[in-house]
Chain A
């Protein structure tokens, strides 16, 4: 899957969790959680949806490595 396709999928997943936001406006190095004002419950839901969409396992200790769209896209590419 190409980088851009991954990003589009991520935007769609974030949109489901925070419908009133525009995830595509996030800069690649912007903190997703802080910028979209997502709480820990919705963060977990987002990680579950990433896990299901891309069929990759994300251990809890990796949460700190996937805080931005740029980092998360790279992470997914490496795991797929």
Chain B
């Protein structure tokens, strides 16, 4: 039997509200099936199952707000059919990334710097205890920890909550009870804004960014797109973004250190899944992933964009499309600003930014000409890589965009 857990759809996600089960007990499921629909800050997301088997039991009712990492259902896997069942609770998905974002629901200890209220002083507490304390406005500095080395654990915080004066306690406890009614689906623009704010604040707080940029002559790439589009129906036409995504993915083959996550150490990812920033007209961004972009043709990447962008704007993405990216690409498109220096989406270690394509005076081989130019930037995590790596990446990216026919 395996537990199906509320997945994380990014470092910024803490919980989601179950809207609907798509499967019922007894139903067969195969890897990739949609098992539930969950309302998150990133809209209504279809959550996929990662096991083959049968739904044994649903543990959560529609309307419940479920923290990331909480068991939502039990899945009877192939093993259990033959009696070799094992309890393997935390086996669920896959990515290293999730292990990190799941941490807040486990009791373990760390030493995070305190909020600014207590400058210079550190308090040992488990992340779960910290979260409960924060939610209940409990001052950790006034609690004596009973955990390992005096660390404050969940029970210590709960005791402190109980010890408050009676009326206050009642009020606070009622606030922490699971909500039975579905939370009103918050104004989507506002909640996305909050999700972006949380992820970017974390990034700026924790990641020492370095920035590099390179001007790239886009004449050959744009000519290649133009010629290619002449032979295509309007529905099949390519946009420069598709070529940029392919060029970035191919360049990462040669500089794999940037296609990675930072989780106390650099962990290079095998798959190159490019998260593509889609801005919403109502404000905020969504970053669906184009998986295995290095293995796809430019046409296939354009097909992915045609599929993903409208669904991202309608906030109808699947969980696997939101939590699998290994690097982020953000492009301003035509007009507007020349340069974009991105903020890294944790736990990734790099973001590639493209400004608008503009005509510029361009000197080459002692000659002056006018060329369409794009400013490509790399924001890198300096814990993970150095400017030399970033420099190599931008050089290879330039080379690839000068040979679009090979992409």
Q: Which residues of A contact B (CB under 8 A)?
A: 18-20, 34, 37, 39-41, 44-45, 47-48, 51, 57-60
Contacts and interface: CB of A to CB of B under 8 A. Distances in A.
Contact of B281 (A18, A44, A59, A60): A18
B26 to A, nearest CB: 41
B131 interface: no
B72 interface: no
Given A20-B282, A60-B226, A60-B230, A44 B334 contact: no
Interface of B: 226, 229-230, 234-235, 237, 239-241, 279, 281-282, 305, 309-310, 333-335
Given A18-B281, A44-B237, A60 B333 contact: no
Contacts, number: 34
Contacts of A57: 234
Contacts of B305: 41
A39 B237 contact: no
A23 to B, nearest CB: 14
Nearest to B332: A39
A57 B229 CA distance: 13
Nearest to A34: B335
A41 B234 contact: no
Contacts of A45: 310
A51 B262 CA distance: 47
A60 to B, nearest CB: 5
A34 B356 CA distance: 14
A40 B334 contact: yes
B374 to A, nearest CB: 13
A60 B334 contact: no
B230 A59 contact: yes
A31 to B, nearest CB: 10
A34 B333 CA distance: 13
